[in-house]
């Protein structure tokens, strides 16, 4: 992502904070991006478990509409 975007990635990460393993991934991802690509942007979008498979698709669309410069 960093290499393919020439260090200009604008990332949206969809996660479920209720799952500790996803929190570990999300925290590690943010830390790595800050280290390897300080100019990159990372937006974390938390999804409630109840939204998975129902409202999450609309959340993705809404996130991209609000931030059209998101490219990952």
Sign of the Cα torsion 18, 62, 42, 14 reads positive
- The reply to whether 16 falls in a domain is yes
Q: Look at residue 4 and tell me if it is in a domain.
A: no
Instruction: Give the pLDDT score at 52.
Output: 85
**Which residue is it, tokens 């937006």?**
43
Residue 19 and residue 51 in contact, taking contact as beta carbons nearer than 8 Å: no
Is pTM beyond 0.75 here? yes
Would you say residue 2 lies in a domain?
A: no
What is the DSSP secondary structure assignment for residue 47, as one 8-state letter? Answer: -
With respect to residue 1, please indicate whether it lies within any of the assigned structural domains: no
The domain tally of the chain equals: 1
Domain boundaries, position 31 = 10-66
Task: Over range 26-53, report the average pLDDT.
Answer: 94
Mean pLDDT, the chain, whole residue set: 94
Residue 29 lies in a domain: yes
**Which of residues 47 and 52 earns the better pLDDT score?**
47
What distance in Å separates the CA atoms of residue 16 and residue 14, rounded to the nearest whole number? Answer: 7
Residue 64 is predicted with a pLDDT of: 95
Say if 5 falls within a structural domain.
Answer: no
Q: How confident is the model at residue 16 (pLDDT cuts 50, 70, 90)?
A: very high
Examine residue 62 and state whether it is found in any structural domain, yes or no. yes
Assign 23 to helix, strand or coil. helix
């Amino acid at each position: 992502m960093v290499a393919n975007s020439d260090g200009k990635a604008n990332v949206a990460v969809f996660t479920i904070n209720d799952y500790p393993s996803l929190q570990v991934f999300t925290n590690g991802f943010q830390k790595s991006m800050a280290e390897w690509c300080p100019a990159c942007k990372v937006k974390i979008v938390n999804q409630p478990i109840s939204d998975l498979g129902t409202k999450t698709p609309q959340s993705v669309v809404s996130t991209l509409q609000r931030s059209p410069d998101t490219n990952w």
